[in-house]
Chain A
């Protein structure tokens, strides 16, 4: 029963109810930062941490809350968490902060976080809420990296460029040059490219879903 639940949450977060592809939540940061795969990964990690923390906390205090004030309290919790993460990173992980720092305020604008707090964490046990945060975050991160990779390959002809910014100087080797002497495709990097790319991924997901329901 417990395992069944976890499986369901996992599938939900990664596929059936994926926050970027199905719920279409958090589009503002999603479309804004996915010009490269590494940028997408950065926002994905920061969002996942926030989702896990806010989900766990909201679940812990769920019995203290009353209907009328649950949303302001969720907002308070999320805003506090994000601010504390930002300050802590700035103080003790300054190098990382200089790279991920710009993404962190964007997380507050991501409605998937308050969405999960309201729809899931406030009704479930702590561990399930934690797991849901992790899976929702992972699902979001995968799409961010996928969209970032597509746009980067099309737009610049590289993949995982600037990996050293996130993993230190030894990580240059991750960067792949997909096309040599590529002249670049501006549209993919500009905001419209993000919309086209996301639409493309959603379309593919829908094709797969349709195909599977036909088999059944």
Chain B
């Protein structure tokens, strides 16, 4: 019997067998759940987008009608365009800032055609739990103070936290995080104003 004379062979076989079973199980779970996960992610994204621009105000496929543009600093940003009867009504811009306390903060910023903010949400961040994470809408309503604000109101240098002479509250003990988010919103508004026609006309 080869098995008796070659115990290493049996060992290899057993290990191989387990690797095969493990991989098969993971791969088939992945296959089974793939579509469902994709759909969940789509729905979650749509839900977040709809919290900025209500679904009743547009009639196009928000997620399909998106375009990727280069930002001034060279990084890509995804822009979802909301239209009603082919008329542009708002854009939701997915952008990010590296100026937070820890790593990248990913934001989506909804802007009405007139340049006023529909709202801001945080998609991803690594700010300090319990402090900087108050930028998440489910943890505090800090982000709601930006609704309906635009570059006309408040004016230029007032787009800052109160500590820096601006109009906005900062999160307690998380001034760096607050500054980063406010700066990113301001830059996105400026980008929107400067590229408004391009944003809505560019084809996919």
**Contact at A83–B18, with CB atoms within 8 Å?**
no
Interface residue count on the A side (C-beta < 8 Å) = 33
Within 8 Å by CB of B172, from A69, A152, A184, lies A184
State how many angstroms separate the Cβ of B164 from the closest Cβ of chain A: 21
26 A-B pairs with C-beta separation under 8 A: A64-B14, A66-B10, A69-B11, A72-B15, A73-B15, A76-B22, A77-B18, A77-B22, A79-B22, A80-B25, A83-B26, A83-B29, A84-B29, A87-B29, A87-B33, A87-B37, A91-B40, A94-B44, A156-B130, A162-B138, A183-B172, A184-B131, A186-B173, A189-B129, A189-B130, A190-B128
B30 proximal to A (CB < 8 A): yes
In angstroms, how far is the closest chain A Cβ from the Cβ of B70? 30
Please give 12 more A-B residue pairs, beta carbons under 8 A apart, in addition to A35-B129, A83-B29, A98-B44: A36-B129, A68-B11, A73-B15, A87-B33, A88-B33, A91-B36, A91-B37, A183-B172, A184-B131, A186-B173, A189-B128, A189-B129
For B25, the chain A residues whose CB sits under 8 A away are 80, 84
Which residues of chain B come closer than 8 Å to A28, judged between CB atoms? none
**Chain B 1-25: CB-based contact to A (< 8 A → 1; otherwise 0):** 0000001001100110011001101
- A186 adjacent to B131 (CB under 8 Å): yes
Q: Which residues of B sit under 8 angstroms from A189, Cβ to Cβ?
A: 128-131
Assembled-state Cα–Cα distance A186/B37 (Å): 37
Check B30–A87 contact: CB distance below 8 A: yes
A165-B129 Cα distance, complex, nearest whole Å: 15
Q: List A187-201 residues whose CB lies under 8 Å from chain B.
A: 189-190
- Chief secondary structure at chain B's binding surface: helix
**Knowing A65-B14, A91-B33, A184-B172 touch, does A80 contact B130 (C-beta < 8 A)?**
no
Bound together, the chains give a CA A92 to CA B29 distance in angstroms of: 12
Q: How far is the CA of A91 from the CA of B30 in the complex (A)?
A: 10
Contacts of B23 in A (CB 8 A): 80
Would A80 and B22 count as touching, CB distance under 8 A?
yes
Whether A59 is near chain B, meaning CB under 8 Å from some CB there, is no
* Chain A hits for B203, CB < 8 A: none
The smallest beta-carbon distance between B36 and chain A, in angstroms, is: 4
Within 8 A of B (CB), among A158-216: 162, 165, 183-184, 186, 189-190
B10 to A, closest residue via Cβ: A66
B64 located at the interface, meaning its Cβ lies under 8 Å from any Cβ of chain A in the complex: no
